[in-house]
Structure 1
Amino acid sequence: MPEPTSAPLVLVEADGAVLTVTINRPEKRNATNAEVLCRLYDAWVRLDRDDSLRVAVLTGKGDTFCAGMDLREILRLRERVRDNEWIIRLQDEPGISLHAYLKTYRPTKPVILAAEGFCRAGGTEILQGTDIRVAGESAVFGVTEVQRGLFPMAGSAVRLRRQMGYAVAAEMLLAGEDLTARRAHELGLINHVVPDGQALAKAREIADRIARNGPLAVRAVLATLRQTESLSEEDAFAIETPLGGAVMQSKDAAEGPRAFLEKREPVFTGE
């Protein structure tokens, strides 16, 4: 049944060019359910379609980011329960689930993660679809699905070994044990470890810096990073060169150097 709350289970707020997306189930450690997944996907689509937005920050309400998928919701989905609009939508559009977790849908603009507390199972799965990650020093990360007899369907069995060493990824996936924030930072899984309670502030600082940059350049660099990950240099340059060339022919590419020479902030229009 729908949860007894008037607030949506994902809060989406635009502040200038930054979209902040907050999972809002703190009493459930922000575990995802049908409503959360649908609203996350809708937020990613909004980020892509709204030209005034240049970057997103993903976080969780309270002192934890996300403890994964709500196990009760998994059972309800298996049993084909259809008692609210969100679970009906998820059953009728099953692709939404993996889109929400950033496996099969990646916005063309950067997504920054701000994680506190638990970032387990689906929490660590969605992390791997973000571009920059900030964690509070007490945060813990883990792909715990095997401990429940489940498979990490949101991409970890493929992505995790590409974002850290094979042996460490194998142990995380097969044993289902946690990594501390410090260890995750040492392994390159996250960018910054900050005092507890400061992850969102640091993520917003990075987002504000990105939002001031040329939007065409940011999107082209991001596309290059993603599309060339496992390619040879020759094949990667075949993708990179036209993406970069289009940026260099833009009005923004003229505005940036001009503003620098005139000692003022550039006014990028995305043209």
Structure 2
Amino acid sequence: MRPRLRHPVLRRRTGGHPMGGTAHLKAERVGATLVLTLDRPEARNALSLPMLVGLHDGWAEADEDDSIRSVVLTGAGGAFCSGMDLKALAGQGGTADDACRDRLKADPDLHWKAMLRHHRPRKPVIAAVEGPCVAGGTEILQGTDIRVAGESATFGLFEVRRGLFPVGGSTVRLTRQIPRTHALEMLLTGRPYSAREAERIGLVGRVVPDGTALESALETAELINANGPLAVEAVKACAYETAGLPEPEALALELERGMRIFGTADAKEGTRAFAEKRPPVFRRA
């Protein structure tokens, strides 16, 4: 029997269909968008080994499949992610976790790639956040490109409250993504942040009514999907590659990447379609 779609939003959209995943991670296609859903609502989607394996495979699928133009990352059951479940990550769960433990043993870096610490997908990644997005959830969030949050979403890095260190990349990334004073306050106080405060300091880009973050993220994904895929991927890559470089060096790199895009068949198709007042047909060429 074909498994049901996990979100009413996905059921309403034509073309949405399950693609697989793991016990705690569902992968579904909605048009040209891959939707990855953290699916362990009874634990507020705390990170488990099956979830991390599913995330790792989802990012790989998005990188390898040219028909995927964007990725949306969200959570089931009104939560995004409440952080790492250390007990589950240790593999306590019987034979169902044997394959996942073997995957981690074969690639000790798998969990860091899954959490976007040691991997950057080449397609745009949009986070659709409802409910708690704390600790490891806030760390994964920093690996996404565009972030939409429901009104009741909460954020925070709680590690210091437990005498721990946020090793998912936050001490490096957060100060590069939001003003240093806000980054250090979040890192050093371990206090929770509301969605509105997260928007004010720049951690998320947009706050929407509760229950609509996924719909909003999919609408943004559709706008991205309509654009030239080579141009989209080059723009994303250049934005990250030039971060922190001296301006002359960054501008030189931008020009090099940009001129390669201008020479593509897709660029010619885009300008021709504009002149002919019709939608462009991009072919990744």
TM range (shorter): over 0.9
CA distance in 2, matches of 1:205, 1:171: 33
Runs of 4+ residues deviating >3 angstroms:
none
Kindly provide the CA deviation profile for residues 56-91 of structure 1, in whole angstroms up to 9, marking residues without a partner as x. Answer: 0000011010001113235x26x9x99622123223
- How far did 1:7 drift? 6.7
Taking the aligned partners of 2:67 and 2:204, their CA distance within structure 1 comes to: 28
Provide the rounded CA distance (Å) in 2 between the counterparts of 1:206 and 1:102: 21
Q: 1:184 aligns with which of 182, 186, 198?
A: 198
Q: Counterparts of 2:195 and 2:243 in 1: how far apart (Å)?
A: 25
Match of 1:241 in 2: 255
Unaligned runs of 5+ in 1: 1-5
TM-score normalised by structure 1 residue count: 0.93
Which residues in structure 2 correspond to 1:204-223 (within 5 Å)?
Answer: 204-223=218-237
Aligned twin of 1:60:
75
CA deviation string 1:113-162 (max 9, x = no partner): 00000000111001101000000011011111122222211100100111
Whether 1:112 aligns to 2:126 is: yes
TM-superposition CA deviations, 1:184-227 (whole Å, max 9, x none): 11111111100000000000000000000000110010011111
Q: Give the Cα separation in 2 of the matches to 1:8 and 1:268.
A: 36
Structure 2 counterpart of 1:255, from 255, 269, 274: 269
Distance 1:264 1:8 in 2: 44
Q: Which residue of 1 aligns with 2:35?
A: 20
Bigger mean CA offset, 158-167 vs 109-118: 158-167
Query: Could you tell me whether the CA contact under 8 Å between 2:22 and 2:54 is conserved in 1?
Result: no
Deviates more, 1:237-246 or 1:53-62: 237-246
Q: Relative to 1, partners in 2 of residues 1:7 and 1:227: Cα closer, same or farther, differing over 3 Å?
A: closer
For the residue of structure 2 that corresponds to 1:88, the secondary structure is helix
Deviations along 1:146-186, one digit per CA (max 9) or x if unpaired, are 22222211100100111111122112111211111101111
- Equivalent residue runs for 1:227-238 within 5 Å: 227-238=241-252
For 1:3, the equivalent position in structure 2 comes to none
**Contact between 2:22 and 2:51, CA under 8 Å: does it hold in 1?**
no
Change in CA separation of 1:7 and 1:126 when aligned onto 2, cut-off 3 Å? closer
- Please tell me the residue identity of whatever aligns with 1:20: V
Match of 2:60 among 45, 60, 66: 45
Q: What CA RMSD, in Å, does the superposition of the two structures yield over aligned residues?
A: 1.7
Report the counterpart of residue 9 of structure 2 in structure 1: none
**In the alignment, which residue of structure 2 is the partner of 1:133?**
147
Q: In the alignment, what sits opposite 2:24?
A: 9
